[in-house]
Structure 1
Amino acid sequence: MLTQEALPPLAALLAAHAGAQAERHRAIWAFDARLAQVARTTSEPRIGQMRLAWWNEVIDDPTGIKGRGEPMVDALRASGAMAAPGLVAMIDGWEVLVVEPEIDAAALGDYAAGRGGGLFRALADTAEPPAWLDAAGAVWALWDLAGHVGAPALAKAALAAARDVLPQVGEVHWPRQWKPLRIAFTLARQDVLAGRGAPLGVPRSLALRLLRIALVGR
Structure 2
Amino acid sequence: MRIVVVKDDLSLLASLLSAYAGPDIARHRLIWTLDARFARLVATTSEPMIGQMRLAWWNDALTDEGGVKGRGEPLIDAMRKLGAMPPHGLSQWLDGWEALIGEVDLHGYAEGRGGGLFRALAGRDDIPAWLVQAGAAWALWDLSGHIEDRTIAGRAIEMAREHMPREKPVWPKEWRPLRIAYHLARHDIEKNRCAPAGLTPALYLRLVRVALAGR
Deviations, residues 163-182 of structure 1 (Å, cap 9, x unaligned): 1111x343111000000000
Q: Distance in 2 between matches of 1:5 and 1:148?
A: 14
Give the 5 Å matches for 1:1-218. 5-100=8-103, 103=104, 107-166=105-164, 168-217=165-214
Q: Does structure 1 conserve the Cα–Cα contact (< 8 Å) formed by 2:9 and 2:33? A: yes
Q: Does structure 1 conserve the Cα–Cα contact (< 8 Å) formed by 2:134 and 2:182? A: yes
Q: Distance in 2 between matches of 1:32 and 1:197?
A: 20
Residue 61 of structure 2 aligns with an amino acid whose one-letter code is V
SS in 2 for 1:148: coil
Structure 1 position 80, deviation (Å):
2.6
5+ residue gaps in structure 2? 1-6
Q: Distance in 2 between matches of 1:124 and 1:43?
A: 32
Q: Distance in 1 between matches of 2:214 and 2:196?
A: 21
Deviations, residues 157-203 of structure 1 (Å, cap 9, x unaligned): 1011101111x343111000000000000000001111122212211
With over 3 angstroms needed to count, the CA separation of the structure-2 counterparts of 1:130 and 1:9, relative to structure 1, is same
Q: Does structure 1 conserve the Cα–Cα contact (< 8 Å) formed by 2:63 and 2:86? A: no
SS in 2 for 1:6: coil
Residue 6 of structure 1 aligns with an amino acid whose one-letter code is D
SS in 2 for 1:63: coil
Q: Which has the higher helix share?
A: 1
Deviations, residues 96-149 of structure 1 (Å, cap 9, x unaligned): 11132xx3xxx2111111100000011001111100000000000000011111
Structure 1 vs Structure 2: percent identity of aligned residues?
54
Q: Does structure 2 conserve the Cα–Cα contact (< 8 Å) formed by 1:27 and 1:79? A: no
5+ residue gaps in structure 1? none
Q: Does structure 1 conserve the Cα–Cα contact (< 8 Å) formed by 2:145 and 2:196? A: yes
Q: Distance in 1 between matches of 2:47 and 2:79?
A: 27
Q: Which runs of 4+ in 1 moved over 4 A?
A: none
Q: Does structure 2 conserve the Cα–Cα contact (< 8 Å) formed by 1:25 and 1:123? A: yes
Q: CA RMSD in A?
A: 1.4
Q: Distance in 2 between matches of 1:116 and 1:97?
A: 13
